[in-house]
Amino acid sequence: MAHKYVYKFGAGNAEGNKDMKLLLGGKGANLAEMSNLGIPVPPGFTISTEVCKMYYEHNGQFPKEVEEQVLEGVKHIEEIMGAKFGDPENPLLVSVRSGAPASMPGMMDTVLNLGLNDETVQGIIKKSNNERFGWDSYRRFVQMYGDVVMGLKPESKEEEDPFEVIIDQVKKGKGVQLDTELDAEDLKKLVKLFKEEIKKRTGKDFPTDPWDQLWGAIRAVFGSWNNPRAITYRKINNIPPDWGTAVNVQAMVFGNMGDDCATGVAFTRDPATGEKIFFGEYLVNAQGEDVVAGIRTPQPINETTKTDPSHVTLKEVMPEAYKELEEIKDKLEAHYKDMQDIEFTIQNSRLWMLQTRVGKRTAAAAVKIAVDMVEEGLIDKETAVMRVEPEQLDQLLHPTFDPKAEKKVIAKGLPASPGAATGRIVFHAEDAEDWAAKGEDVILVRIETSPEDIGGMNVAQGILTARGGMTSHAAVVARGMGKCCVAGCGALEIDYKSKTMTVDSKVYKEGEWISLDGSKGEVIEGKVPTVEPQLSGNFGKLMSWADEIRKLNIRTNADTPHDSEVARNFGAEGIGLC
| 205 and 327 assigned to the same domain | no
Mean pLDDT computed over 246-267: 94
- Nearest-CA neighbor of 216 among 96, 329, 357? 96
Under DSSP, the state recorded for 526 is S
Same domain assignment for residues 354 and 372: no
Mean pLDDT: which of 36-50, 175-189, 272-286 is highest?
Answer: 36-50
**Does 257 reside within a domain?**
no
My answer on whether 169 and 277 are in the same domain is: no
pLDDT of 306 strictly over 90: no
Q: What is the pLDDT of residues 412-425, one digit of tens each?
A: 999 998 889 999 99
Q: What CATH number did the domain enclosing 377 receive? A: 1.10.189.10
> Following DSSP, what letter does each residue of 147-186 receive, concatenated?
HHTT----SSTTSPPHHHHHHHHHHHHHT--SGGG--HHH
What's the pLDDT at 578?
Answer: 62
Q: Clarify whether residues 236 and 101 are in a common domain.
A: yes
- 471 found inside a domain: yes
pLDDT (average), residues 489-512: 94
CA dihedral 390, 225, 356, 256 (to 10 degrees): 140
Among residues 481, 478, 501, the alpha carbon closest in space to that of 489 is found at 501
Q: What residues contact 402, with CB distance under 8 A and at least 6 apart?
A: 528, 529, 530, 531
Residue 1, domain member (yes or no): no
Determine which of 40-49, 115-124, 398-407 has the lowest per-residue pLDDT on average: 398-407
Predicted pLDDT at 367: 95
Instruction: Identify whether residues 230 and 98 lie together within a single domain.
Output: yes
**pLDDT-based confidence at 404, cuts 50/70/90?**
confident
Instruction: Indicate the SS3 state at residue 242.
Output: coil
> Based on the domain organization, do 154 and 78 belong to the same domain?
yes
From 227, 249, 271, the end of a domain falls on 249
CATH number at residue 26: 3.30.1490.20
Please tell me the total count of domains within the chain: 4
Instruction: Say whether pLDDT at 508 is over 70.
Output: yes
Give the pLDDT confidence of 456-474 residue by residue, as tens digits: 999 999 999 999 888 888 8
99 and 190 co-located in one domain: yes
Q: Are residues 163 and 200 in the same domain?
A: yes
* Residue 255 domain-assigned (yes or no): no
Rounded to whole angstroms, the Cα distance separating 270 from 448 reads 22
Residue 577 has pLDDT above 80, yes or no: no
Length of the chain: 578
Whole-angstrom distance, CA of residue 248 vs CA of residue 27: 8
Q: What is the pLDDT of residue 180?
A: 82
Mean pLDDT of the chain: 92
Is the pLDDT assigned to residue 166 strictly greater than 70? yes
| Same domain assignment for residues 213 and 302 | no
Q: What pLDDT is recorded for position 295?
A: 64
Whether 254 maps to a domain, the answer reads no
**pLDDT at residue 243 tops 90:** yes
pLDDT confidence band for 395 (50 / 70 / 90): confident
**Same domain as 141, residue 239:** yes
Q: Of 203-212, 280-289, 483-492, where does the model show the most confidence?
A: 203-212
CA–CA separation, 98 and 442 (whole Å) = 32
Radius of gyration, alpha carbons of the chain: 24
If we measure between CA atoms, which residue out of 482, 484, 408, 471 comes closest to residue 445? 484
CA distance 332 to 297: 27
Helix (H) or strand (E) holding 14: strand 13-14
Binning pLDDT at 50, 70 and 90, where does residue 475 land? confident
Closest CA to 270 of 220, 329, 325: 329
- At 293 the pLDDT is 65
Question: Full-prediction pTM beyond 0.85?
Answer: no
Q: Which residues contact 544 (CB under 8 A, 6 or more apart)?
A: none
Expressed as residue numbers, the domain containing 385 is: 364-397+535-577
- CATH number reported for the structural domain that contains residue 323 in this entry: 3.30.470.20
Examine the domain organization and report whether 222 and 296 are in the same domain: no
Residues 514 and 562 in one domain: no
The average pLDDT across 3-14 equals: 96
Rounded CA-CA distance 213/75 in Å is: 17
pLDDT bin (cut points 50, 70, 90) of residue 512 is very high
